[in-house]
A and B are shown apart, each in its own frame.
Chain A
Amino acid sequence: MYTLENVSKTYTQSKRQITALADVSLSIPSGQLVAIQGPTGGGKSTLLQMLGALDRPTSGRISLGEAELSHLPDRKLGGIRAKEIGFVFQGFNLIPTLTAQENVETALAPLGVPAEERRRRALDALASVGLADRAGHVPGELSGGQQQRVAIARALVKEPDVLLADEPTGNLDEETRDEIMDLLEGLWRDRGLTLVVVTHDSAVAKRAERRLHITHGTVTERR
């Protein structure tokens, strides 16, 4: 359960103030699938950063369950990211020198999971995204869709409460896009995740329970 109250985020770039989020108030109940749409530069990624405890708002309050994301120290935010939040990025963001399995394991390293269990859980996660047979491949040897599946396995292996995806299909061709969206939707349904997806794809957005639109830092509900 996310609660945002009057959240604003401004960036100062060469003495110019840029308002990325302007006085956003909303709440996202646990288990909801939310699609976020809007023009480039509207503030979608900034909102996702706030939800993902990657950065603190300039003003306002944001909480995930009991945790005050807007006021916790960096170390605590890191712990929350490690345990409760999974990320999927537009550019996959896999570590190029590590194999698929090792990439998935990186999500378990900060949780202090023993090596053997880490290996097993990573392989299970890869199996759940249909990549059991690619565990030993490095990202360079995988297609874009396969790389994004590895990234999804990495986000889910720690069994988080929240999955945040910033344009997860933005770098993929049309066929693969549907595969990835279907996969995310299936995981959301099976695991009772809170899933927030930034997407330009209206077809995908239409399937979501709830649609938010962000322009100039202002959020509006769409139905």
Chain B
Amino acid sequence: MFFTYLRRELAGRRRQTAIVAIGMALAIALVMIVNSVASGVRDAQASVLQSVYGVGTDLTVSQDPTPPEEGEAGAGPGRFEFGADDGTSTDDSTEISQSRLTAGFGSTTFDASALDTVADLDGVEAASAALSLTNMTFSGELPQFAQRTEGEPPAEGDTTQQAPTGGFDGAGGSAFDVNSFSVLGIDPGGAAVGPLSAVELADGRGLEASDAGQAVAVLDASYATSAELAVGDTIDVGGTEFEVVGTVTSTSADAATASNVYIPLGLAQSIAGLDGQVSDLYVQATSSDRIAAVQADIEEALPDATVSTQADLAASVSGSLSTASTLIANLGLWLSVAVLAAAFLIAILFTIQGVTRRTREFGTLKAIGWSNRRVVGQVAGESLVQGLIGGAAGLALGLAGIWVINLVAPTLGGSATTGTLAGGPVAGPGGDGGATASGPFGDRLADAAGSTTEVVLNAPVTISVVAIAIGLAVLGGLLAGAIGGWRAARLRPAEALRSVA
């Protein structure tokens, strides 16, 4: 009887069933989509962080940059100095090129002994150190001034002075390229934590313990592509030729890795003139509940250091990713709560209205001997099934919405602004800078402190997303059913005899 009555009611009052189910479906779909996108954004944030800090890094240690004192060489790159014999001369111009390796923009180095200090602390599982550097290459063509002055004097009666020749335009002009890439000096032994723990080998090999002191480099694969370098080529880092032995990509599909170039820490220190210095420590705690304690211990042991947890780091992710995250957290949440509340309200109001309209019907059933429980069960059952129909429709709608989002696959950019890591993907070799070398150089300065990573948003369909849909459907149905049932329970059987008018 229960199911017959239920089926007949839902089929017989199709419009009410449809309205309640559609309301529930829209709300549930929205909640699913918001939930899925939120977890997609979280994943994206995690992958941005992972590409910068590596997997398993609980804490990073860096030092706040101190403003350079008067007279001291600033934090900026060192000066380029070209001697008389530098460069290679062709007939009418001189090609010059020089690389300098300096501490990364906005990064402050500190003594490497901090690594041992941190590694010895209780609750530290693993720690590694890195030196973040920026390599700047200045290259260009100068005209052959000498050739011109030493040439034949202008012919007698020739009033027009001979036009200068040579240079990049063949008319005495000069062209310069200023090109930079980020370099990370790391422990080649392959530390358990650190930037390279979240990369995959794309080609060649990674750095090995035996590479310490060897002029070998591993390149970020996308940088290698843009710089037209491959395994076996050489790359000039601070004036030293490094052999490219491998390329790496981020394990999180579309993210760039932490640095363009990775070289052994010792060489990085000596070439940059920063012997015994590092810029970042990557620390893994023995368990997640010890992170706070370890953070406090490090801060105590290294008073000048800035210690950041993953949570701090997540907060530091900026760019469209952070906008998306804020949008989801605020608008998405409130919108879904509002729509959900509206849907529940519609379900409840329709159920109450239905019970009121069917006063005589339920009174009659009670008059012919139906127990309160049976009547309440019938009302609640109808609401629950309406909720479930809405839930099923909402699940389908939500999955379709998530599918569309994944089909569109919006790209979000995220910068982990650490204040210590320089570089990021290079926008291609320095263009034809000419005398105005500001293009790539200026850009680099502007976002030197961050590493922008492009992540394609992937909204996952997790068990929890599906569970939320079903749970909300059941909850909405039960809520409406409970309220409607309560109303029905209070009906007196004598209502059945109430006059028709």
Interface residues of A (CB under 8 A from B): 45, 48-49, 52, 54-55, 74-75, 78-79, 81-83, 86-87, 89-91, 93, 95-99, 102, 105-107, 109-111, 118, 138, 154-155, 158, 166, 171
Of A75, A91, A155, the most chain B CB neighbours within 10 A belong to A91
Check if B496 sits within 8 Å of A98, measured CB to CB: no
Judging by beta carbons under 8 Å apart, are B494 and A93 in contact?
no
Which chain B residues border A154 with CB–CB below 8 Å? 368
Once the chains are docked, how many angstroms separate the CA of A107 from the CA of B12?
21
A109-B370 in contact given A89-B364, A98-B4 (Cβ < 8 Å): yes
A117 → B minimal CB distance (Å): 13
B371 within 8 A of A: yes
Give chain B nearest CB distance to A95 CB in angstroms: 6
Taking A49-B497, A55-B494, A105-B1 as contacts, is the C-beta distance between A93 and B371 under 8 angstroms?
Answer: no
- List A contacts of B364 (CB < 8 A): 87, 89, 93, 95
Give a binary string over B71-113; 1 marks a CB under 8 Å from any A CB, 0 the rest. 0000000000000000000000000000000000000000000
In Å, the complex CA distance between A90 and B369 comes to: 18
| Closest 9 A/B residue pairs (Cβ) | A82-B369, A97-B12, A91-B500, A109-B1, A93-B364, A97-B8, A110-B369, A81-B369, A54-B494
Q: Are B360 and A91 in contact (CB under 8 A)?
A: yes
Given contacts A78-B370, A110-B369, contact A90 B500 (CB under 8 A): yes
Q: Scan residues 1-17 of chain B and give those whose CB is less than 8 A from a CB of chain A.
A: 1, 4-5, 8-9, 11-13
Give the chain B neighbours of A49 by CB distance below 8 A: 494, 497
Q: Is the CB of B370 within 8 A of A110?
A: yes
Q: Mark B346-373, 1 if CB is under 8 A from A, else 0.
A: 0000000000000011001111111110
CB distance from A217 to the nearest CB of B (A): 16
- Contact indicator B497/A82 (Cβ below 8 Å): no
Residues of B within 8 A of A79 (CB): 369
| In the assembled complex, B205 has its CB within 8 A of some CB on chain A | no
CB-CB nearest in chain B for A91: B500
- B288 interfacial by beta-carbon distance below 8 Å: no
Residues of A within 8 A of B372 (CB): 74, 78
Tell me how far the C-beta of A125 lies from the nearest C-beta in chain B, rounded to whole angstroms.
13
B387 an interface residue at 8 Å Cβ cutoff? Answer: no
Give B452-501 interface residues, CB cut-off 8 Å to A.
Answer: 492-494, 496-497, 499-500
A99–B500 alpha-carbon span in the complex (Å): 21
Contact A98 B370 (CB under 8 A): no
A96 touches B368 (CB 8 A): no
A87/B368 contact (C-beta < 8 A), A93-B361, A110-B374, A171-B500 known: yes
Pair A107/B369 contact, Cβ less than 8 Å: yes
Q: Which chain A residues border B369 with CB–CB below 8 Å?
A: 78-79, 81-83, 107, 110-111, 158
Asked whether, in the complex, the Cβ of B4 is within 8 Å of the Cβ of A87, the reply is no
Q: Judging by beta carbons under 8 Å apart, are B370 and A106 in contact? A: yes
Residues of chain A lying within 8 A (CB to CB) of residue B494: 49, 54-55
Residue of A nearest to B13 (CB): A97
Q: Which residues of B contact A48 (CB under 8 A)?
A: 497
CB B22 to nearest CB in A, in angstroms, measures 21
Cβ-defined contact, B12 with A93, below 8 A: no
A-B contact pairs, 28 of them (CB 8 A): A48-B497, A49-B497, A52-B367, A74-B372, A75-B371, A78-B370, A78-B372, A78-B493, A81-B366, A81-B367, A82-B369, A87-B367, A93-B360, A93-B496, A97-B5, A97-B8, A97-B9, A99-B8, A102-B5, A102-B8, A105-B4, A106-B1, A106-B365, A106-B368, A109-B370, A118-B1, A138-B12, A166-B497
- Given the complex, which residues of B lie within 8 Å of A95, measured CB to CB? 5, 361, 364-365
Q: Tell me the minimal C-beta distance from B153 to chain A in angstroms.
A: 115
A96 and B12 contact, Cβ closer than 8 Å, known pairs A102-B4, A106-B1: yes
In the complex, the chain A residue whose C-beta lies closest to that of B1 is A109
- Chain B positions within 8 Å of A105 at CB level: 1, 4
Identify the closest chain B residue to A154 (Cβ): B368
Which one, B8, B361, B371, B496, contacts A54 given CB within 8 A?
B496
| A81 CA / B13 CA spacing, docked (Å) | 29
**Residue of A81, A109, A138, A155 touching B493 (CB-CB under 8 A):** A81
Q: Let me know if A82 and B368 touch, CB within 8 A.
A: yes
Q: Quick one: closest A residue to B360, CB to CB? A: A93
Bound form: Cα–Cα A114–B171 in Å: 107
A104 to B156, CA, bound (A): 130
Inter-chain contacts of A87 with B (CB < 8 A): 364, 367-368, 496
CA distance A106 to B372 in the complex (A): 14
Interchain CA distance A89-B365 in the complex, whole Å: 12
| Closest CB in chain B relative to A216 CB, distance in Å | 19
A89 in contact with B12 (CB, 8 Å): no
Q: Mark B367-383, 1 if CB is under 8 A from A, else 0.
A: 11111101000000000
Within 8 Å CB of B374, what residues of A?
109-110
Q: What is the CB-to-nearest-CB distance from A206 to chain B, in angstroms, rounded to a whole number?
A: 25
Q: Are A89 and B497 in contact (CB under 8 A)?
A: yes
Q: With A75-B371, A90-B500, A96-B361 given, can you name 13 additional A-B contacts, CB distance below 8 Å?
A: A45-B497, A49-B494, A54-B492, A55-B493, A55-B494, A79-B369, A82-B370, A87-B367, A87-B496, A89-B364, A98-B8, A102-B8, A107-B368
| Chain A residues with CB under 8 A of B496 | 54, 87, 89, 93
What CA separation (Å) do A48 and B493 show in the bound complex? 12
A191 smallest CB distance to B (angstroms): 18
Which of A55, A83, A109, A155 is the most central at the interface, judged by chain B CB atoms within 10 Å of its CB? A109
Separation of A52 and B494 alpha carbons in the complex (Å): 9
- A90 neighbours in B (Cβ, 8 Å): 499-500
